[in-house]
Structure 1
Amino acid sequence: MEARPERLNATVAWLFMLGSACFVLGSVPAYLDAVGGPVDGVTYVIGSIFFTSASFGQLVQAQTPAMTAVDADSQHRRAPVRLLGWAPHDRNWLAAALQFPGTLCFNVSTVAALTHNATAAEANRYVWRPDLYGSVLFLASSTYAVLAVSQRFLAFRPRSFPWRIAWLNLVGSVLFMASALASYVVPSTDAALNTRVAVAGTFLGALCFLVGAALMLPAWRRAVPTRPRGSTPHQFKE
């Protein structure tokens, strides 16, 4: 299988943007009121599919040097990609490898959420747990992404596109975690622990992911013209 590095990066960025946009839209109360619960739930499912597709593309990108070590000419030339890889000492790869199963967890939770009349125990088992696991994996992935673009975790590099992308994703992951925790269904009331926090965390977290994904496009354009042939750039995440 072959791909053009610039096109793969753009595809990953747009898939992440579409997935994030679906989560943003699905968490808007006015949208829920307008389309109803089932359509709102399907919106999340579609968004999770976009997330998973983008995450797999990013994993392929992270484990294929030919997709990142490019110059202004080779970025447009097709090159073989690695569908399977193992690079545990590469923080960029670790970030992508943790993120992908996280998106699969969101696939499970969003599909399970379409079930009607689920008990609190069923909702927590089939929706809340996968959502929590996905959020944990996203948080770990984003932490590795920050470490991949900075020598120190709290290094301040606001002019760097990769730094901004990594921190937007980390903030988004923290917000998704808050949403997941607040979505726990209390057995005694059959209601979420805190619906407002759950909705706000999803909306703001997805918004962070959306902006981070949009920055992948100018980040690539800035990096490629000044990148020496054969060098390895920062992995552009989400």
Structure 2
Amino acid sequence: MTARPDRLNAMIAWLFMIGSACFVLGSVPAYVNAIGGWVDGITYVIGSVFFTSASYAQLVQSQTPAMTGVDEVTQHERAPVRLWGWLPHDRAWLAAAVQFPGTVFFNISTVAALTHNATAAEADRYVWRPDLFGSVLFLVSSAIGVLAVSRRFFTLEPQSMPWRIAWVNMLGSVLFMASAVASYVVPSTDELLGARLAVAGTFWGAVCFLVGAALMLPAWRRAVAPAATAPPP
């Protein structure tokens, strides 16, 4: 299987943007009121599928040197991709490898959320737990992603596009984590632990992921620009 590096990167960015947009839309109360809870749930399912597709494509990109070590000319040349790899000492690969199963957990939780009349125990087991596991993996992946582009975790490099992307995604992961915790269904009341936080965390977290994905496009153009004209990384 072969791919053009520039097109693979663009595909990853757009898949993440579409997936994020679905989560943003699904967490807007007016949208839920207009189309109903079941269709809103389908919106989340679709978004999670786009997330998983983007995450796997990013994993393939990170484990294929021919997809990243390119310049303005070679970015347009098709090259074989590695569908499987093991690069635990490469932080970029490790971040992608941790993120991918996180998206699979979101697939599970969003599909399970379509079940009607679930008890609190069932909702916590089949929806909340996978959501929590996915959020934890996203948070770990984002932390590794920050370390992949920074000398130290709290190094300030605002001129660096990869640094901006990493920290926007980190904020998104923190917000998703807050939403996951708040989505716990309290057995004694059958209500969420924090309904407003659950919705707000999903909405703003998805907005962060949308912004981070959109920044991948100009970041790529900057990375492959000729050295003589390229701005600081």
Q: Bin the TM-score by the shorter chain.
A: over 0.9
Question: Which residue of the partner structure matches residue 42 of structure 1?
Answer: 42
Question: Which residue of the partner structure matches residue 216 of structure 2?
Answer: 216
**2:118 alignment partner, SS class:** coil
Q: Structure 1: which amino acid aligns with 2:157?
A: R
Q: Check the 8 A contact 1:184/1:192 in 2, yes or no.
A: yes
After superposition, residues 1-150 of structure 1 pair within 5 angstroms as 1-150=1-150
* Aligned equivalents of 2:107, 2:227: Cα separation in 1: 37
1:40-71 per-position Cα deviation (integer Å, ceiling 9, x unaligned):
00000000000000000000000000000001
1:18-45 per-position Cα deviation (integer Å, ceiling 9, x unaligned):
0000000000000000000001000000
Q: How far off is 1:159 after superposition?
A: 1.4
* Aligned equivalents of 2:226, 2:85: Cα separation in 1: 28
* Aligned equivalents of 1:70, 1:140: Cα separation in 2: 28
Q: Structure 1: which amino acid aligns with 2:65?
A: P
Q: How far off is 1:198 after superposition?
A: 0.2
1:144-167 per-position Cα deviation (integer Å, ceiling 9, x unaligned):
000000001111111111000000
Q: Check the 8 A contact 1:8/1:57 in 2, yes or no.
A: yes
**1:153 alignment partner, SS class:** coil
Q: Check the 8 A contact 1:6/1:75 in 2, yes or no.
A: yes
Instruction: Compute the TM-score of the two structures, normalised by the length of structure 2.
Output: 0.97
Q: Check the 8 A contact 1:71/1:227 in 2, yes or no.
A: no
**2:115 alignment partner, SS class:** coil
* Aligned equivalents of 1:81, 1:146: Cα separation in 2: 25
The count of residues paired between Structure 1 and Structure 2 equals 229
Q: How far off is 1:225 after superposition?
A: 1.4
Q: Check the 8 A contact 1:135/1:173 in 2, yes or no.
A: yes
* Aligned equivalents of 2:227, 2:175: Cα separation in 1: 34
Q: Check the 8 A contact 1:179/1:202 in 2, yes or no.
A: yes
Does 2:161 align with 1:156? no
* Aligned equivalents of 2:134, 2:176: Cα separation in 1: 9
Q: How far off is 1:226 after superposition?
A: 3.4
Q: Where does the alignment leave 5 or more consecutive residues of structure 1 unmatched?
A: 229-233
Question: Which residue of the partner structure matches residue 175 of structure 2?
Answer: 175
Does 2:189 align with 1:189? yes
Structure 1 vs Structure 2 CA RMSD: 1.1
Q: How far off is 1:118 after superposition?
A: 0.1
Distance 1:180 1:227, change over 3 A: farther
Instruction: Compute the TM-score of the two structures, normalised by the length of structure 1.
Output: 0.95
Q: How far off is 1:227 after superposition?
A: 5.8
Structure 1 segments of 4+ aligned residues over 3 angstroms from their partners: none
Q: Check the 8 A contact 1:171/1:208 in 2, yes or no.
A: yes
